[in-house]
Structure 1
């Protein structure tokens, strides 16, 4: 079960408490940026490595998106706590994820196969994982304003995709398969 891709995902999961400590307790936005950025890189790499080394697994297919949700939830709550993000955005993202969690429970209870993550779903997560770290660099000289603009561009695009794919997953997740 612990292969290279799953180890990368586990490393990303361990980055969550590290990020929270660095951002909320130590007040180190640059170090926090590095942790989130590395989390985004490991999110990209774990899938690539899994396919390249033929180390895909059912566990990894469930563990990776779960860690993505954990990462996004922790980061957006922390950012909203320090007024980097509006709470309405944070709550809407968390509600989206909670609704899809309920869909997974429904699928499990009905014996309906879980949906595979789509390319757009991956793109939405990718955009969010890259948007939020850029917002942390807002106060830096020279790159702060550009980082803020690019960060919000990624955040708006990523959030739009996140809700669009959430609606897709909801509709498809509640449909009964033809063979059911």
Structure 2
């Protein structure tokens, strides 16, 4: 990883950025469906499944058609985090997931997040997104609509969705924390290198 330089492209009007913006618009729609005066859980499942299932699409389009941009690099993880935070908030408020699960996910964000300003003081931006982190995010974004489906149904569908949702949720939580440990290792390595350079 190199120190931050001027972004090579701040293009806005690209297909990947449009996809990311569309995903961002899905967040308030999902919250309204979940927490509004009337609950539309099955519709919320669809919105969440589409938002999570298209997580890889913007990146693929950017690489395939050479439409990568600095804005896109910021929008994609922003959309991921907003979906995770919004979904966690809604599912916790509705008591579909326990607060302990939510706290475990948020703790990872806090642990990594407190070191980013320190890293920036040494001239570095956030570490690049690791594939383990992307995988963990994708698994979580599949776990949430599955857990919501289990809450919105009964019988066999409920049983299978509940089991599958928690299997995905626990797996995603483990991957999310593993990626957090890797980010911390990157951050500490960069800080150590910067300090060594300053002594030369």
Pair in the same fold by TM > 0.5 = yes
Distance of 1:31 and 1:167 partners within structure 2: 35
Query: Which structure has the bigger radius of gyration?
Result: 2
Match of 1:6 in 2: 17
Match of 2:80 in 1: 68
Q: Is the counterpart of residue 160 in structure 1 residue 174 in structure 2?
A: yes
Q: Is the counterpart of residue 31 in structure 1 residue 43 in structure 2?
A: yes
Aligned pairs for 1:38-117 (under 5 A) are 38-117=50-129
Deviation string 1:120-175 (CA, Å, 9 cap, x unpaired) is 11100000000010011114244221111111111010000001111111121232
Aligned residues: 180
Deviation string 1:100-119 (CA, Å, 9 cap, x unpaired) is 22222222221024311111
Match of 1:176 in 2: 190
Distance of 2:117 and 2:76 partners within structure 1: 18
Distance of 1:9 and 1:98 partners within structure 2: 24
Deviation at 1:2, TM superposition (A): 2.9
Distance of 2:54 and 2:116 partners within structure 1: 25
Deviation string 1:17-69 (CA, Å, 9 cap, x unpaired) is 10000011131110000110110122121111111111111221122112211
Please say which of residues 38-47 and 92-101 is displaced more in the overlay.
92-101
Distance of 1:58 and 1:103 partners within structure 2: 22
Deviation at 1:5, TM superposition (A): 0.8
Q: Which runs of 5+ in 2 are unaligned?
A: 1-11
What's the secondary structure of 1:21's corresponding residue?
helix
What's the secondary structure of 2:20's corresponding residue?
helix
Deviation at 1:93, TM superposition (A): 1.1
* Cα pair 1:22 1:31 within 8 Å, conserved: yes
* Cα pair 2:53 2:141 within 8 Å, conserved: no
Distance of 1:118 and 1:136 partners within structure 2: 28
* Cα pair 2:20 2:58 within 8 Å, conserved: yes
Distance of 1:120 and 1:88 partners within structure 2: 23
* Cα pair 1:75 1:132 within 8 Å, conserved: yes
Distance of 1:59 and 1:104 partners within structure 2: 19
